[in-house]
Copies of this chain bind each other. A is one copy, B any other.
Amino acid sequence: MSGQFNDWMKASLAEFEVHLTNLLPTVDTIPAHLHEAMRYAALDGGKRVRPLLAFAAGRLFNAPSELLTRAAAALEMIHAYSLVHDDMPCMDDDALRRGKPTVHIQYNEATALLVGDALQAQAFLVLAEGDASAERKLPMLQLLARAAGSIGMCGGQAIDLASVGLALNLAELEQMHRLKTGALLSASVLLGAMSGKNLSTEEVAALNSYADAIGLAFQVVDDVLDATADSATLGKTAGKDAADNKPTYVSLLGLEASKTLAEKLRNDAHDALLPFGEKAQHLRDLADLIVQRKA
């Protein structure tokens, strides 16, 4: 990864944080307590992988920054809501997230439920509003709704829930992650690109191949880190999947084979980007970052 990529990433994230702050309801707006908790859940934390993917994909087709920023904020709000709900006692029952107490610990369960619900609505609102044309935004809204819903992220969660304690094979584990985290990561790449232009079938296919590869790589690396890093480094409870008896790549393949798989997926991601040439450099760099990250 080049210094230019690091500079771009730092600048993009700093600018994004300002926009995300402005696209959430202020604490001066009634109900202040809910808005404070929504901001607690969405701001000051997280790796912002989905926004970065959207920004990097937006460069392929010179996407206008206003729409790109709204798409990135919508994706991050969907992601943030899913974390708030996942952490609740009836799901993963986790007390630590992004190095802070989870929302139901900091506030209470009912507030966590409403924060997640309201963040989802806010995601669709920020993508539906703004300067871009209705024709440009409507397919993006459809894609986001599909990626977030029962045949996307929520569906993956449901499969994950149903799989606790079961002996999933590798194909079943992959299908679960393809929905649970892959759908929204794919949507991030596609929404970034769609902010710039209507995509051809070939472009959608190439970007989906890239997104599939990094989506799985992301999960494989997550499992490796969960098995090898500590909670302080991760900003969340380490070793939780093993403790919960959840199937992981590490439990199915072993540690070394998991690391090899992550490397193979990184190469797949690079290959998928060949048609886009130089303009895809930041997407390549992000694939590298996802595989090499330590938290």
A residues near B, CB below 8 A?
25, 29-31, 33-35, 38, 81-82, 85, 88, 90-91, 108-114, 116-118, 120-122, 124-125, 128-129, 133-135, 137-138, 141-142, 144-146, 148-152, 154-155, 157-159, 161-162
Contacts and interface: CB of A to CB of B under 8 A. Distances in A.
Identical subunits present = 2
Contacts of A116: 117
26 contacts: A29-B151, A31-B155, A31-B158, A31-B159, A31-B162, A33-B158, A35-B150, A38-B150, A88-B113, A90-B108, A114-B154, A114-B158, A118-B158, A121-B145, A121-B152, A122-B149, A124-B124, A124-B144, A125-B146, A128-B142, A128-B145, A129-B142, A133-B134, A134-B137, A138-B138, A141-B141
A141 to B, nearest CB: 5
Contacts of A128: 138, 141-142, 145
B113 A113 contact: yes
Nearest to A164: B110
Nearest to A86: B113
Of listed A114, A124, A144, A150, residue having the most chain B CB within 10 A: A150
A199 to B, nearest CB: 16
A216 to B, nearest CB: 18
Contacts of A82: 117
A43 B129 CA distance: 31
B121 A25 contact: no
Contacts of A122: 145, 149-150
A265 to B, nearest CB: 23
A57 B157 CA distance: 38
Question: Which 10 residue pairs across A and B have the least CB separation, nearest first?
Answer: A121-B149, A90-B109, A125-B145, A134-B134, A34-B158, A118-B150, A118-B154, A134-B138, A121-B148, A31-B158
Given A85-B117, A118-B150, A121-B145, 16 more contacts: A30-B151, A31-B162, A34-B155, A88-B113, A90-B112, A113-B113, A117-B154, A118-B154, A121-B154, A122-B149, A124-B124, A124-B141, A128-B138, A134-B134, A134-B138, A135-B135
Of listed A122, A128, A137, A162, residue having the most chain B CB within 10 A: A128
B155 A30 contact: yes
Of listed A33, A124, A159, residue having the most chain B CB within 10 A: A124
A282 to B, nearest CB: 29
A219 to B, nearest CB: 18
